Amino acid sequence: MKQFSSKWFSVISVTKCNLLLYTIFMLSFVGGCSDSKQQLNVFTWSGYVSDEIRTGFEEEFGVKVVVDTYGTNEDLLAKLSVGGTGYDIIMPSDYMVSIMIKSKLLAELNRKNIPNYSNISPNYLNKYFDPENHYSVPYTFGTAGIAYDSSIVSPTPDSWTVLWDEKYKNQFSILDDPRETPGLALKMLGYSLNTTDPEQLNQAKQKLIEQKPLVKQYKNEAEELLIAGDVVMAHCWSGDAFRAADKRPTIKYVIPKEGSSQFIDNVCIPKTAPHKDLAEKFINYLLRPEINAKISAFTKYGTCVPAAKEHLPEEILKHEYIYPTAEVLQSLEWIKDQGDFTQQYSRAWEEIKAK
Ligand code: SPD
């Protein structure tokens, strides 16, 4: 009996052991399958890549897309400058593309892998920041301005000076951005937002220090504050204002009469990208007219792909601030890469925030 039970014990042990090995094998196989899926790591602005765009690419190409966000071009630069981020796709604005090219942080694009490049309108190509688009492909374009709740803010704001009005103390937010924010004060003072005159920049700095006690928050994701009703006005990017207006229809947007900034955000591949081929497939996918239309409808920024317009509703195509009038366009400036003087903007902004 003793012999019998020990024999059976060893049979059961062997069976259990086989089962265990089998389970480990199956688990490692399943795990191995998901691990072996290529992963595309995207680093972008919030509200820029929708779940629909992400999962559409995942399903069609059998890969995983992970999206991480940043709040300013300078945050993106800081992260990339450290190296080895693992990001495959980034979306710097115009002047930051120029800075990144000079700093040798970007990979040259292989146009053969991006046949949909030909879908882009020439109006958005060959700009000063990447004269032959060797490193960048335009994603969207927009402006900075003031979003306001028209059921509360009266009269309708038409000047940046409203952001110095005591009446709105603690009721508005300002972008937390070393170029946009000094830029708004420079425009209010009648200067270029690309000034390299230290005295003009100093005047803008003093204005922003004076404004500080009135500001509820410095925040780039103003959409959330506007929807929640935490602020009645926000210095923000246009698409974010229009996205907020979808949820809270009394939100309107204006570009002040003194003028403002305009931008093109671009898709680029960092030099250190682990999956360059997949990144180029992703860029090509973004440039399909129907996909690009979805991007514009989601972000509420303009499309650089004319054929995408066939898939867009009238209210976007005729939107006076997504496609500004010639008069408004004249009042806008591109933020430029000002070389060494750029540091003075960052220093001024740090000093303002430290006050
Ligand atoms: N939520 C998307 C915001 C995109 C902003 N682009 C930045 C432009 C900076 N000049």
> pLDDT tens digits, residue range 53-87?
999 999 999 999 999 999 999 999 999 999 879 99
Determine the distance separating the centroid of ligand 1 and the alpha carbon of 349, expressed in angstroms.
18
Residue 62, classified by CB atoms within 10 Å of its CB into exposed (0-12), middle (13-18) or buried (19+), is: exposed
Q: Best substitution site from 224, 237, 296 to test ligand 1's pocket, by max atoms within 8 Å of Cβ?
A: 237
Determine the distance separating the centroid of ligand 1 and the alpha carbon of 178, expressed in angstroms.
13
Whether 269 and 279 have beta carbons less than 8 Å apart is answered as yes
Whether 66 and 38 have beta carbons less than 8 Å apart is answered as no
- Residues 327-353: what's their mean pLDDT? 96
Q: What is the DSSP letter of 45?
A: E
Q: What is the pLDDT of residue 48?
A: 97
Q: Tens digits of per-residue pLDDT, 194-248? A: 999 999 999 999 999 999 999 999 999 999 999 999 999 999 999 999 999 999 9
Q: What is the pLDDT of residue 83?
A: 87
The most distant pair of C-alpha atoms in the chain lies apart, rounded to whole Å, by 102
- Ligand 1 and 222: CB distance under 6 A: no
DSSP 231-253: -SEEEEEHHHHHHHHHHSTTEEE
- Ligand 1 and 45: CB distance under 6 A: yes
DSSP 101-119: HHTT-BPPP-GGG-GGGGG
Determine the distance separating the centroid of ligand 1 and the alpha carbon of 12, expressed in angstroms.
64
Protein residue closest via CA to atom 5 of ligand 1 = 237
- Under the banding of pLDDT at 50, 70 and 90, the label for residue 13 is very low
- Ligand 1 and 265: CB distance under 6 A: yes
Q: What angle do CA 301, 81, 141 make, to 5 degrees?
A: 10
Give the strand order in the sheet containing 39-45.
64-70, 39-45, 89-90
Q: How far apart are CA 56 and CA 274, in angstroms?
A: 21
Determine the distance separating the centroid of ligand 1 and the alpha carbon of 328, expressed in angstroms.
19
- Under the banding of pLDDT at 50, 70 and 90, the label for residue 35 is low
Q: What is the pLDDT of residue 15?
A: 43
Mean of pLDDT over the chain: 92
- Overall pTM > 0.85: yes
Q: What is the pLDDT of residue 102?
A: 97
Beta pairing, strands 137-149 & 89-90: unpaired
Pull the structure tokens for residue 306. 């004319």
Q: How far apart are CA 121 and CA 307, in angstroms?
A: 9
Protein residue closest via CA to atom 10 of ligand 1 = 263
Beta pairing, strands 172-174 & 233-237: parallel
- Ligand 1 and 46: CB distance under 6 A: yes
Which atom, in ligand 1's list, is nearest to the CA of 223? 1
Q: Tens digits of per-residue pLDDT, 141-158? A: 999 999 999 999 999 999
- Ligand 1 and 232: CB distance under 6 A: no
How is the chain split among helix, strand and coil, in percent rounded to 5?
50, 15, 30
Q: How far apart are CA 248 and CA 222, in angstroms?
A: 13
pLDDT surpasses 60 at 8: no
Q: How far apart are the first and last CA of the chain?
A: 87
pLDDT surpasses 50 at 14: no
